[in-house]
Amino acid sequence: MSKRTEIKTVLTDFDSRIGQEITVMGWVRAFRSNRFIALNDGTSMNNLQVVVDFEQLDEQLLKQVHFHACIKVTGQLVASQGAGQDVELLAAKLEILGGANPEEYPMQPKAQSMEFLREKAHFRMRTNTFSAVFRIRHGIAYAVHKYFNDNGYFYLHTPIITGSDAEGAGEMFHVTTLDPANPPRTEDGAVDYSQDFFEKPTNLTVSGQLQAEIGALALGKVYTFGPTFRAENSNTSRHLAEFWMIEPEVAFYDIFDNMDLAEDFCKYLINHILEHYPAELEFLDSRIQKLEQNMPKEQRRAMGLIETLRFVVDNDFERITYTEAVNILRSSKPYKKGKFEYEVEWGKDLQAEHERFLVEKKFKKPVIVRDYPAEIKAFYMRMNEEQEQIPGRTVAAMDVLFPGIGEVIGGSQREERLDVLKARMADMNVPEEELWWYLELRKFGGCPHAGFGLGFERMVQFITGMGNIRDVIAFPRTPGNAEF
């Protein structure tokens, strides 16, 4: 193929190219007035206007310039006569690389529903909305690595297949090469996993945290960023069966260092996108405004997308303890009026409606809640000292709650005291045999350390303003859905 110039380059760096002949390739977004082709090659939010003179080009060729057909155009770049763009390309040569017969092609040059586009995941990335989302998704992923690299963290690849089912984060997908219809059996009739590939039962990982702790206790500061699997039957706009999670783990960090890291990290990611993807954000912002035009006022966002992102980076996150949260909730208007469906009571977990009140009504910004009751949190979270005014024991856990999507981060300081950890595992029926190495980490050269898990798609959702998590991952896996 002859060399092409990317459309983003043409549109942003055109001074030196005006008057020159260039070649561009991309997908047709519109063919107006038998003269103007809006061409997009995925590099930019904006299209290049290609101007055709039908007397100079074959009529049959121009008839194939359909919506989303892929074409190659060579011609002279000139200053545009029209008002909508700086430059345009006068087509001297036009070639159809891939036609798109509109009588069969399902995509149409108009707004289509998210549900319909989800069924067309192989085409939806050609739309403005999804190309913007996926450019931003890339930008956030890049910023994750840049942030950690620039701050002295090491990227650790924790296993996708795990031999432990004690990671305490929900139902797991089994991994096996045994024939499910006819597996080998032991004498007592159980499946004989000693004949399986790994000679033991294995699952897809639900978290890289326990292994990340191994890294932290050697390299000091590590992070993981990889796929994570939960076999929960979750049917919501913020859950996936396969998602990407970022898990920093840091030696010598306590819960407060952990909160500082979480806040700084979130702000860095948002700032990176504000700085590098303004066109995408403006498009998504206006998209939401159009969507909300017909909604009643109370259902609309209080602030625009970009305004929300600026607000989050410009303000400190609110930090409260679980006990304070319970007190705030119990003296709140909706509580007194009986508007909450679930009871607010020390010892019970905060429900989505409670978190939403704190984030969206009370503080109107991200909130970090810490020091949750020990009974409702995982075995590895560090036990706090007893406090007189608090009804029960708490652990040094923290959740970062964002407006609209709720929990984006869950983390904790880890229990480094061997005896306390063993007691907790016994209390919660976590088998020591499976996590012998986790215990030895405390026995030999242990230290205080902390970390958290950030749901990557939830962050992408927040930054792009997309309402459903299935629309910020290219190929969503949810209960009953693994197409593509």
Q: Is 151 in the site for RNA (CB under 7 A)?
A: no
Q: Is 106 in the site for RNA (CB under 7 A)?
A: yes
Q: Do the Cβ atoms of 434 and 442 come closer than 8 Å?
A: no
* Binding to RNA, residues 361-400 (CB under 7 A): none
Find the binder of RNA among 6, 9, 17, 30 (CB under 7 A).
30
CA dist 299 → 139, 158, 217, 292, 404 (Å): 29, 41, 47, 8, 11
* Binding to RNA, residues 10-29 (CB under 7 A): none
Q: Is 329 in the site for RNA (CB under 7 A)?
A: no
Task: Output phi, psi for 100, to 5 deg.
Answer: -145, 85
DSSP structural state of residue 478: B
- Least distance to RNA, CB of residue 81, Å: 4
Find the binder of RNA among 103, 298, 388, 433 (CB under 7 A).
103
- Least distance to RNA, CB of residue 356, Å: 7
- The whole-angstrom separation of Cα 36 and Cα 34 is 6
Q: Give the sheet arrangement for strand 318-321, strand by strand.
A: 154-155, 221-229, 242-251, 449-455, 406-413, 394-402, 367-373, 318-321
Nearer CB in complex with RNA: 118/174: 118
Nearer CB in complex with RNA: 316/483: 483
Nearer CB in complex with RNA: 62/390: 62
Of residues 147, 117, 27, 107, the one with CA closest to residue 466? 117
Burial (CB count <10 Å: 0-12, 13-18, 19+), residue 34: exposed
* Binding to RNA, residues 411-470 (CB under 7 A): 453-455, 457-458, 467-470
Per-residue burial over 295-333, b = 16 or more CB atoms within 10 Å of its CB, e = otherwise: eeeeeebeebbbebbebbeeeebbbbbbbebbebbeebe
Q: Is 88 in the site for RNA (CB under 7 A)?
A: yes
Q: Is 238 in the site for RNA (CB under 7 A)?
A: yes
Nearer CB in complex with RNA: 70/352: 352
Q: Is 118 in the site for RNA (CB under 7 A)?
A: yes
* Binding to RNA, residues 207-226 (CB under 7 A): 207
Size of the residue set binding RNA (CB under 7 A): 71
Q: Is 289 in the site for RNA (CB under 7 A)?
A: no
Find the binder of RNA among 217, 245, 396, 441 (CB under 7 A).
245
- The whole-angstrom separation of Cα 356 and Cα 13 is 45
Q: Is 351 in the site for RNA (CB under 7 A)?
A: yes
- Least distance to RNA, CB of residue 102, Å: 4
- Least distance to RNA, CB of residue 168, Å: 8
